[in-house]
């Protein structure tokens, strides 16, 4: 039985992509409780797109998932950019800002999210940068456990220990990505359930679930370009059983199907959430009757 945490958002979510805006505006979406955008794709955008975004932010709770903060990067933190993020969050009443526990830039931006070395020194470095971002924004941010394909050179810690060290040192939240846990468990040969259960319940802000691409039997690429597979749904089911129900968003960044097809996967998130909410309610009712 779980004591339900008071989350800033609730239920099941869907990423807002410009290609789907018209269809989403015309479709009933009662199963969608919140939406997510990458702020880099919307900051400074005016005209029709800005008006359409406002239509959604007035209708749904929103979260932002950033792409270019490069929290583990060697270049100085781009504080002017962080202030732009802060203004965007306020403008649209965004509930949560999240980013990847990776880096993607030095003198210029790269085209991928690269792993940070799993060391105490790197954990201190990243935590100090997160603390600075939180200080500028005046709010906690959520860091996402990232997929990676080869460990960064010089790593001295297990991935789970590094993530927990950063979360604790920075006193920040966690965006738990269920697909990334599964992808890394195959690529780096560990048990996904054991890894997942090593993450801190109290720091979870919300979750991502997505599809991926099987490059080889022992190599999965995190693409967000396919349907969620059964093994990842099963891991989400086990996550709700272990942690209790948390807000969960379906990520789909390309090969985006019709909205009706996306909503069938959102429906499945809702199904698992209802299952474990009802189980917890039955447990509470049973304990009250026997006390």
What mean pLDDT do residues 173-200 have? 96
User: Taking residues 67-81, what's their average pLDDT?
Assistant: 90
d(CA 221, CA 211): 9
Output the furthest CA–CA distance in the chain (Å, rounded): 64
78-104 tens-digit pLDDT: 999 999 999 999 999 999 999 999 866
From the CA atom positions of the chain, what is the Rg in Å? 19
Q: What is the pLDDT of residue 253?
A: 85
In the chain, count of helices (H) and strands (E)? 9, 12
Domain presence at residue 81: yes
Contact 44, 16 (CB under 8 A): no
* Cα gap 67→61, rounded to integer Å: 20
Model pLDDT, residue 141? 98
pLDDT recorded at residue 7? 97
Please indicate whether residue 218 or residue 161 has the higher confidence score (pLDDT). 161
Structural domain contains residue 2: no
| 6 belongs to a structural domain | no
pLDDT digits (tens, 9 = 90+) for 138-167: 999 999 999 888 777 788 999 999 999 999
Q: Is residue 7 part of a domain?
A: no
- Rounded to the nearest integer, the mean pLDDT of the chain is 90
> Is 243 part of a structural domain of the chain?
yes
Provide the 3-class DSSP secondary structure of residue 109. Answer: strand
The phi, psi pair for 67, rounded to 5°, reads: -120, -20
Does residue 5 belong to any structural domain of this protein? no
Structural domain count, the chain: 1
User: Region 122-136: what's the mean pLDDT?
Assistant: 97
CATH code for the domain in which residue 232 is found? 3.20.20.150
Q: pLDDT (tens digit, 9 = 90+) per residue, 12-54?
A: 999 999 889 999 999 999 999 999 999 999 999 999 999 999 9
Q: Is residue 4 part of a domain?
A: no
Instruction: Give a yes or no: residue 265 inside a domain.
Output: yes
pLDDT at residue 179 greater than cutoff 90: yes
- Which range marks the domain in which residue 94 is found? 12-290
């Amino acid at each position: 039985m779980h004591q339900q945490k008071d989350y800033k958002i609730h239920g099941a979510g869907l990423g807002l992509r410009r290609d789907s805006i018209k269809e989403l505006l015309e479709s009933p979406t009662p199963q969608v409780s919140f939406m997510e955008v990458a702020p880099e794709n919307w900051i400074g955008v005016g005209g029709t797109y800005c008006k359409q975004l406002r239509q959604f932010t007035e209708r749904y709770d929103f979260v932002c998932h950033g792409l270019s903060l490069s929290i583990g990067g060697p270049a100085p933190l781009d504080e002017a950019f962080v202030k732009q993020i802060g203004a965007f969050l306020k403008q649209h009443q965004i509930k949560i800002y999240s980013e990847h526990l990776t880096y993607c830039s030095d003198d210029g931006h790269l085209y991928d999210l690269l792993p940070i070395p799993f060391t105490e020194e790197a954990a201190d470095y990243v935590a100090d940068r997160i603390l600075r971002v939180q200080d500028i924004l005046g709010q906690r941010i959520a860091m996402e456990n990232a997929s990676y394909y080869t460990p960064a050179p010089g790593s001295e810690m297990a991935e789970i220990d590094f993530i927990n060290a950063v979360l604790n040192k920075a006193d920040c939240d966690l965006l738990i990505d269920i697909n990334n846990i599964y992808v890394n468990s195959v690529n780096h040969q560990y048990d996904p359930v054991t890894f997942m259960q090593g993450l801190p319940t109290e720091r979870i802000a919300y979750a991502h679930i997505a599809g991926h691409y099987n490059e080889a039997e022992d190599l999965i690429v995190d693409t967000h370009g396919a349907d969620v597979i059964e093994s990842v749904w099963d891991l989400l089911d086990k996550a709700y059983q272990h942690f209790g129900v948390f807000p969960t968003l379906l990520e789909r960044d390309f090969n985006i199907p019709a909205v009706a097809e996306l909503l069938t996967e959102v429906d499945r998130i809702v199904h698992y959430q209802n299952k474990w909410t009802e189980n917890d309610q039955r447990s509470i009712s049973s304990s009250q009757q026997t006390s």
